[in-house]
């Protein structure tokens, strides 16, 4: 039986202000694909906006990773119209596009925005391996002679972020209609998931081992907490909305809308241990509070028929932060509760994998981006290897 499976999906971030503005801009997004099918569709994104937007022209084409061959561009329509009008706060799917796709074909989506268009939500990645974006001046449908564009002109806040990033506006999913027996694997969490060094490392190896048999989607939001919604720090852009609502409240929305994951990997709790202290909230959660929110999410996943694997929280900080002693007590106790967990199908002990041999309260120096919190490529690869050994061992039954 044919079913729609996301070849790529990212959570649109609610910035609560105009985070990007386009005018006479072509956006190109290249997504790594591991699916086989004869139709595809795009999910457009205008969430958290009070105004409609127009995308003047959208095409999709394929780029074969093995041969380098590019297919011809095919026009994408919405309700039969080439100009895509998105109502305020909407996420419609495009009309299906007939297209023969193989697991070797990556998907290139080109979108032209002629009018001045403001976005209050975009999708963001740091690793930029499973998907990439470029922004150029001019209309790709009329000419190949497009001009260079600086991110600082389009999205000043994202351009000033100390962590490298790429972003995509107006789009949040590309799905393929497939007859194959595909396992959809969803990763859920905060910035460690969202930045994608972890998820992209896992995706790369899974796609190498199981062509056409699985797809990985990223449900991370940087700064997210599983128990509480975002704090409201004074002077913070968008009053902290970009950290998202509580993970327990967004879980089904962000992972199960349009498809049901077979496997969910949860890594969330860093910000539950820190934000209430950092931002001076009147109530600081206990480890039991955080764990009960995690248990609620596990229950939601099981209710949808998904299998769940939970990760322990790796060490964070260690540079004299005022909040760290109290947060570290929370992290260690929360990890104890996770390790004693019998609710999920299994545990992946990332704390044991990433902590320093000489100081278990710090992450190995070679494994993070220099901040003691966010794994780099080395850390992401190491985390992915442990997940693979636990969930998909080479001597096991496969995917």
pLDDT of residue 322 exceeding 90, the answer is no
Query: What share of the chain in percent tops pLDDT 70?
Result: 98
Q: At what angle do helices 270-278 and 287-303 cross, to 10 degrees?
A: 140
pLDDT of residue 397: 66
Closest CA to 302 of 255, 345, 347, 249: 345
- The per-type count for the chain, helices as H runs and strands as E runs, is 10, 22
Segment 259-298, tens digit of pLDDT: 999 999 999 999 999 999 999 999 999 999 999 999 999 9
Per-residue pLDDT at 236 exceeds 90: no
Task: Please write the tens of the pLDDT for every residue from 345-397.
Answer: 999 999 999 999 999 999 999 999 999 999 999 999 999 999 999 998 766 66
Question: Which tokens in the block code for residue 281?
Answer: 């909230």
Rounded average pLDDT over 65-71: 93
pLDDT in tens, 158-168: 999 999 899 99
Nearest to 165 by CA among 132, 199, 120, 136: 132
* Dihedral of alpha carbons 87, 90, 91, 92, sign: negative
pLDDT given at position 394: 64
Q: What pTM, to 2 d.p., does this model score?
A: 0.96
Tell me the C-alpha distance between 221 and 198, whole Å. Answer: 14
**d(C-alpha 125, C-alpha 30), whole Å:** 13
């Amino acid at each position: 039986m044919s079913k729609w499976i996301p070849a790529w999906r990212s959570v649109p971030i609610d910035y609560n202000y105009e985070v990007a503005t386009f005018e006479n801009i072509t956006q190109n997004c290249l997504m790594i694909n591991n699916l086989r099918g004869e139709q595809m569709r795009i999910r457009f994104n205008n969430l958290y906006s009070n105004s409609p937007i127009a995308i003047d022209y959208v095409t999709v084409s394929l780029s074969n990773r093995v041969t380098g061959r590019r297919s011809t561009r095919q026009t994408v329509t919405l309700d039969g119209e080439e100009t895509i009008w998105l109502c305020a706060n909407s996420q419609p799917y495009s009309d299906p596009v007939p297209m023969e796709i193989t697991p070797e074909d990556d998907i290139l989506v080109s979108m032209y925005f002629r009018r001045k268009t403001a976005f209050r939500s975009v999708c963001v990645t740091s690793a930029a391996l499973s998907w990439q974006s470029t922004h150029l001046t001019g209309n790709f449908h009329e000419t190949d002679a497009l001009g260079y564009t600086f991110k600082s002109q389009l999205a000043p806040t994202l351009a000033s972020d100390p962590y490298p990033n790429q972003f995509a506006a107006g789009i949040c999913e590309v799905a393929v209609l497939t007859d194959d027996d595909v396992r959809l694997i969803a990763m859920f969490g905060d910035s460690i998931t969202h930045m994608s060094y972890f998820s992209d490392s896992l995706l790369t190896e899974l796609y190498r081992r199981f062509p056409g048999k699985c797809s990985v989607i990223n449900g991370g939001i940087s700064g997210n907490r599983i128990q509480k919604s975002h704090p409201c720090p004074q002077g913070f852009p968008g009053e902290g909305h970009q950290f998202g609502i509580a993970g327990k409240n967004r879980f089904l929305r962000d992972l199960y809308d349009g498809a049901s994951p077979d496997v969910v990997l949860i890594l969330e709790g860093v910000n539950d241990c820190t934000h209430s202290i950092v931002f001076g909230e009147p109530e600081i959660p206990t480890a039991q509070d955080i764990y009960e929110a995690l248990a609620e999410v596990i229950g939601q996943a099981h209710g949808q028929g998904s299998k769940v694997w939970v990760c322990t929280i790796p060490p964070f900080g260690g540079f004299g932060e005022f909040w760290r002693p109290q947060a570290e007590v929370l992290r260690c106790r929360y990890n104890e509760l996770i390790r004693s967990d019998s609710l999920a199908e299994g545990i992946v002990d990332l704390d044991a994998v990433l902590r320093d041999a000489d100081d278990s309260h710090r992450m190995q120096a070679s494994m993070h981006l220099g901040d003691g919190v966010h794994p780099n490529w080395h850390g992401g690869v190491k985390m992915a290897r442990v997940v693979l050994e636990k969930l998909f061992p080479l001597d096991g039954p496969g995917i």
